[in-house]
Amino acid sequence: MANVAVIGSQWGDEGKGKIVDWLSNRSDVVVRFQGGHNAGHTLVIDGVTYKLALLPSGIVRGGKLSVIGNGVVIDPWALSKEIKYITDLGITVTSENLKIAENATLILPLHQKLDSLREGSNKNIKIGTTKRGIGPAYEDKIGRRSIRLADLANKDTLSDKIERLVNHHNIILRGMGHNELNPKEVFNELLSIADEILPYKARVSSILSDARKAGKRILFEGAQGVMLDIDHGTYPFVTSSNTISPTALSGVGQNIKALNFVLGITKAYTTRVGEGPFPTEQENEIGEELGKKGHEFGTNTGRKRRCGWIDAVMVRHAIEVGGIDGIALTKLDVLDGFETIKICIGYELDGEIINYLPIASEDQFRIKPIYEDVKGWSDSTYGARSWNELPAEAIKYVKRLEELVGCSVSLLSTSPEREDTILVKDPFED
Catalytic option among 41, 111, 169, 317: 41
Element (H, E) at 346: strand 340-349
DSSP 361-393: HHHHHH-EEEEEEEE---S--TT--SGGGS-HH
Stretch 132-171: interaction string toward ligand IMP, x if CB under 6 A: x-xx------------------------------------
Longest dimension (CA), the chain: 68
Candidates 121-129, 363-371, 379-387, 393-401; binding stretch for ligand IMP (CB under 6 A): 121-129
Amino acid identity of residue 418, one-letter, is R
Q: Name the CA radius of gyration of the chain, rounded.
A: 22
Asked if 42 interacts with ligand IMP (CB under 6 A), we say no
Smallest separation (angstroms) from ligand IMP to the CB of 49: 17
Asked if 74 interacts with ligand IMP (CB under 6 A), we say no
Alpha-carbon distance 30 to 53, whole Å?
14
**Given CA atoms 300, 305, 311, 313 in this order, what sign does their dihedral have?**
negative
Cβ closest to ligand IMP, residue 300 vs residue 381:
300
Asked if 69 interacts with ligand IMP (CB under 6 A), we say no
Residue 376: which of 335, 404, 408 has the closest Cα?
335
Asked if 17 interacts with ligand IMP (CB under 6 A), we say no
HSE (side-chain half, CA atoms, 13 Å) at 344: 29
Q: Are 317 and 356 in contact (CB under 8 A)?
A: yes
Candidates 33-41, 56-64, 362-370, 415-423; binding stretch for ligand IMP (CB under 6 A): 33-41
210: Cα separation from own chain's centroid: 26
Candidates 35-43, 202-210, 316-324, 392-400; binding stretch for ligand IMP (CB under 6 A): 35-43
The verdict on whether 41 is a catalytic residue reads: yes
Asked if 61 interacts with ligand IMP (CB under 6 A), we say no
Residues numbered 181 to 210 that lie near ligand IMP (CB under 6 A) are none
Interface pick for ligand IMP out of 7, 10, 12, 56 (rule CB under 6 A): 12
Alpha-carbon distance 105 to 148, whole Å?
4
Residues numbered 215 to 274 that lie near ligand IMP (CB under 6 A) are 223-224, 228, 237, 239-240, 273-274
Candidates 34-42, 95-103, 203-211, 359-367; binding stretch for ligand IMP (CB under 6 A): 34-42
Catalytic option among 13, 21, 229, 325: 13
Asked if 34 interacts with ligand IMP (CB under 6 A), we say no
The verdict on whether 317 is a catalytic residue reads: no
Q: Which pairing describes strands 368-375 and 352-354: parallel, antiparallel, or unpaired?
A: unpaired
Alpha-carbon distance 304 to 274, whole Å?
9
Amino acid identity of residue 320, one-letter, is E
Asked if 39 interacts with ligand IMP (CB under 6 A), we say yes
Alpha-carbon distance 208 to 418, whole Å?
27
Alpha-carbon distance 344 to 372, whole Å?
6
Task: Please give the residue ranges that form the binding site for ligand IMP (CB under 6 A).
Answer: 11-13, 38-40, 127-130, 132, 134-135, 223-224, 228, 237, 239-240, 273-274
Tell me the catalytic residues: 13, 41
